[in-house]
Structures are given as structure tokens and as C-alpha cells.
Structure 1
Amino acid sequence: MAIYTHLGSMEEVQHAVRVEGFARLAAVADAIPRSPDPVADLARVSDAYFSFGLGQPHLYRAMFIDRPVRDDDAGAAAFDRIADAVRRCIDAERLPGVEPTMVLMWAAQLWSMRHGIVTMVLSGALPEPQARLVLSDMTLRLLIGYGDDPAAARRSLDHALPAPGADR
């Protein structure tokens, strides 16, 4: 009853859990130190999203799977962390010739790619080691498609992330 006294209703509890989950996800991204390699940092932020989802499946469901009880922008700050990482790659000329309007599009592609794979792992449709291989390959192909040099993209990913299947 104390929760209902404080928050008022089940809908308010659900909303508070959702807001708290996104705040935690943004904090996880904020805790990743910046390196001189913005592509490696983008990979680390993306990997943190993946690991967060797998590590807190019930909270992840409340954030992403359950329908929000009201319109909000609870996920905006977490999404901004990915968009900022994409901007850093552009500013460092790792993704040359990019229109500024593409930043949000590419951040959404990276976000939704991770979301889909997390959901598949949580549902049991894809084992985690295989999911990490898929994410690594998809990330590499997107970065190359965005204009990064293939060898440089591979080096950044290899530097940023443990080899898929390695102990974490």
C-alpha cells in the first residue's frame, strides 16, 4: 500500500518504473569513458544497451515491451547517448559526408538493431553468443555503409568489444 500511497495508482507505478529504467540506461551509457576512437565508443555504448537489456530483463520489458501508460519521452535521454556517439563519429570524420539530418536516423537504426536482438535473446529465439556475433557483424556492416573505412571499423570494433563468445 505504501507504493500506492506515494504514487497513487498502478499506472503511476508502471510509469515510474519506465522512467527509472531509462534513467538507469542513460547512466550506464554515461559511465562509459570517452576514448580517442569515437567508433569504438559508439560500439561500447551499443554493447552497454545490449548488456543492460539482458542483465535486467524485467525492467527492460517495462521500458520497451509493455505499452506505456501515457505518452512520455522517458527514453529520449538514453537515445540521445547513441545519437551523440554517432555525432562524434561524424565530427571525427570517420563517417564522412554525412548530412546532419541522418544522425537521428542512424542512431535509430543502431538502437532498433540492438532492441530486436535483445528481444530475441530474452524470448529464447537466439542464444546470447550467437546474438553477439550477429550484432558485431551488423554493426560492422552499418559502419561501412555509413562511410567508415572497413579496416578502421574492424579495428575499432575489435578494440572496443571482447570477441563474441569470450567470457565477459
Structure 2
Amino acid sequence: MPRVLSDSDVADFRERLCEAAERLFAEKGPDAVTMRQLASELGVSPMTPYRYFKDKDDILAAVRANGFDRFAESLETARASATGGRAKGAAVGEAYIDFAFEHPHTYKLMFDLNQPHEKDYPELVRAGLRARETMSAWVKDLAAEGVMTGDPVQIGAMFWAAAHGAIVLELAGKLPHGAARSLHHMINTTLARGLASGG
């Protein structure tokens, strides 16, 4: 009779499986990774992962949700650590760049994949919405101080698109090392001038 697993046993194995999956997905691409390979990485039987996840898409969703949560936590911490709207915006921008280049595999899995039927994975949807909120929260700080005007969600999306574009170009080798951060600063300064209250 198999041992009854405690909640902590389940959580620990799911975490280890997700860590192995993130590495393999990044190295080979999710389509090239099998459940058997994932089991082999952890030294368990081929059927063991199915005790914790329905299938590979379920694992991918968990990996991406974990990435979005870690990303959002980094940006939330940066915003909370600064005082004043401008300082909060700058801190969030730096945290964004730092996360992307400190965790490039995670970043690519989060943003560069289209996961069919994403709505079937509520934790992924929740984590994605949490990450999206970090893109407009600091804009709301600036709007509350009268520094910036406009729809915070749309403005946040503009800055997000600019940051993501610069990061992806550097990760793809289309920009030299460190260029994304410099470009990010220049774009943000230009956008901020155009969106300034009374500008």
C-alpha cells in the first residue's frame, strides 16, 4: 500500500517537479519534454508525476504561475520599498529589468509562450492578473500625486511593452549586453515627459 502523503509532501514534490520542468522546458522547449523525462530528472517512476499533475500542460501552467508570482512579488517589494510616485516607478522599472535578466528562462516561459486554454488553469490566471496589476499600480501612485494624467492601465501597458521589447531584443542577442537597461531608461524618460500632468 503506498504511503499516504501529507500536504507538505505533496507541496515539496510539486515544487521539485516544477523546478525540473522549468529547466527542461527552457532547454528543450515544452513540446520536446515528456512526462517520462520529468520523472527521470527526479528519479521517480514514469507514473509518479501523474499523482500530482494531470498532464504536461498542467505542469507548464504551474511553472508559469509560479514565475508570474515571483515576478509580481519582486515588483511589489520594489514599489513598497520606495517613497513617492517617481521613486516607486523607478524602483519597479529596475526590479523588472533585474528579474528578467536574473531569471531569463522563467521570463521566457512566462511571456513568450501561448498556452492554449489558459482559462482552464485558475492559478495561472490569478498569477497573471497579479503581475498585470504591478504594471499600473505605480502609475496610480503618480496620478494620485498629480504627476501624470491618463488611464493608468493603458499607461502601464505602454511602459510594459517598451520594457518587454527591450528585454526580449537583448535576450535574443539583437542588442548588446546591458543595452536593454539603458534603452529602458531612455524610453521611460521620453514617455514620462509626454504623459506628465499639464504636458
Which amino acid counterpart does residue 142 of structure 1 have in structure 2? L
**Alignment match, 2:95:** 48
The TM-score normalised by the length of structure 2 is: 0.68
Distance apart, 1:81 and its partner CA: 1.4
Of 82-91 and 40-49, deviating more is 40-49
Q: Where does the alignment leave 5 or more consecutive residues of structure 2 unmatched?
A: 1-38, 40-47, 120-124
Q: Which runs of 4+ in 1 moved over 4 A?
A: none
* d(CA) in 2 for partners of 1:70, 1:52: 27
The answer as to whether partners of 1:3 and 1:13 remain within 8 angstroms in 2 is no
**Alignment match, 2:182:** 133
* d(CA) in 1 for partners of 2:113, 2:101: 16
* d(CA) in 2 for partners of 1:7, 1:27: 25
Percent of residue pairs bearing the same amino acid type: 24
**Alignment match, 1:123:** 172
Counting only pairs closer than 5 Å after superposition, residues 101-112 of structure 1 correspond to structure 2 as 102-112=151-161
* d(CA) in 2 for partners of 1:105, 1:30: 19
Higher-RCO chain (CA-CA 8 Å, sequence separation at least 6): 1
RMSD: 1.9
The TM-score normalised by the length of structure 1 is: 0.79
Q: Aligned pair 1:76/2:129, yes or no? A: yes
Q: How many residues align?
A: 146
**Bigger Rg, which one:** 2
The answer as to whether partners of 1:14 and 1:69 remain within 8 angstroms in 2 is no
The answer as to whether partners of 1:46 and 1:82 remain within 8 angstroms in 2 is no
Q: Aligned pair 1:18/2:64, yes or no? A: yes
Distance apart, 1:149 and its partner CA: 8.8
Superposed CA offset, 1:101-135 (max 9, x none):
x1110000111111111111111111232222111
* d(CA) in 2 for partners of 1:3, 1:149: 57
* d(CA) in 2 for partners of 1:58, 1:3: 22
